[in-house]
Amino acid sequence: MRALLAGLLCLAAVAVPLSAVAQDSPVRVEIRTSEGVILAETDPRAPITSANFLRYVDEGRFDGMTFYRGLQLAPGHGLIQGGTRNLSDRTLPPIAHEPTSETGLTHTDGALSMARFAPGTATGDFFIILGDVSSLDAGKVTPDDPGFAVFGRVVEGMDVARRILAAPKSATEGEGDMRGQMLEPRVQILSARRVEVSSNPE
């Protein structure tokens, strides 16, 4: 299974500290796509990764990007991946890795996590988990496996995520393990914006 997930690795430069101020409470983000709306929520237990995601949101760096990959590992289990794909005019410097062994988060249904190459190279590509893919957690494959960094979850719109996973894929596009996983056509990310949460609905 780990070989199939190799495409999550996004090449980037050496990690630098994130300058954005970490959030001390969850922040909700509406990801509006050509397939519908996904409402996501960051988790303060992963402050560096959450702040990085929110910086991309606040600077409009996801607008006009795509969900470009759908990996189905088993019925109801897999992931969809989207983001900036290392475009030079959209991608910020990489961030430090926050392993699930430190945050207590896990790659289960609805989890938001960061794509990367080596630990400390995550930039502007993220994925949404469908089902249980906890094999991506730190220490699950080998004791020293760093895993991937979960930083939030989907609170509404998993039906949209499932539609994206089931969308048509190119039989020829993609290198190595990613062949057959590239969405064709891509699913557009129309916008990604913070949304306020009403504490006293009437």
The band of 158, judged by pLDDT with boundaries at 50, 70 and 90, is very high
Q: What is the mean pLDDT of residues 26-35?
A: 98
The CATH label, of 2.40.100.10, 3.30.110.70, 3.30.420.40, 3.40.50.300, for the domain at 4-12+27-195 is 2.40.100.10
pLDDT digits (tens, 9 = 90+) for 78-121: 999 999 998 999 999 999 999 999 999 999 999 999 999 999 99
pLDDT digits (tens, 9 = 90+) for 187-201: 999 999 999 876 655
The band of 129, judged by pLDDT with boundaries at 50, 70 and 90, is very high
Burial zone of 141 (CB within 10 Å; 0-12 exposed, 13-18 middle, 19+ buried):
middle
Asked whether the predicted pLDDT for residue 135 surpasses 90, the reply is yes
Asked whether the predicted pLDDT for residue 11 surpasses 60, the reply is no
Q: What is the pLDDT of residue 8?
A: 59
The whole-model pTM stands at 0.88
Q: What is the pLDDT of residue 14?
A: 37
Q: Strand 150-156 vs strand 125-130: parallel, antiparallel, or unpaired?
A: unpaired
Whether residue 58 contacts residue 194, with contact meaning beta carbons closer than 8 Å, is answered with: yes
Domain boundaries, the chain: 4-12+27-195
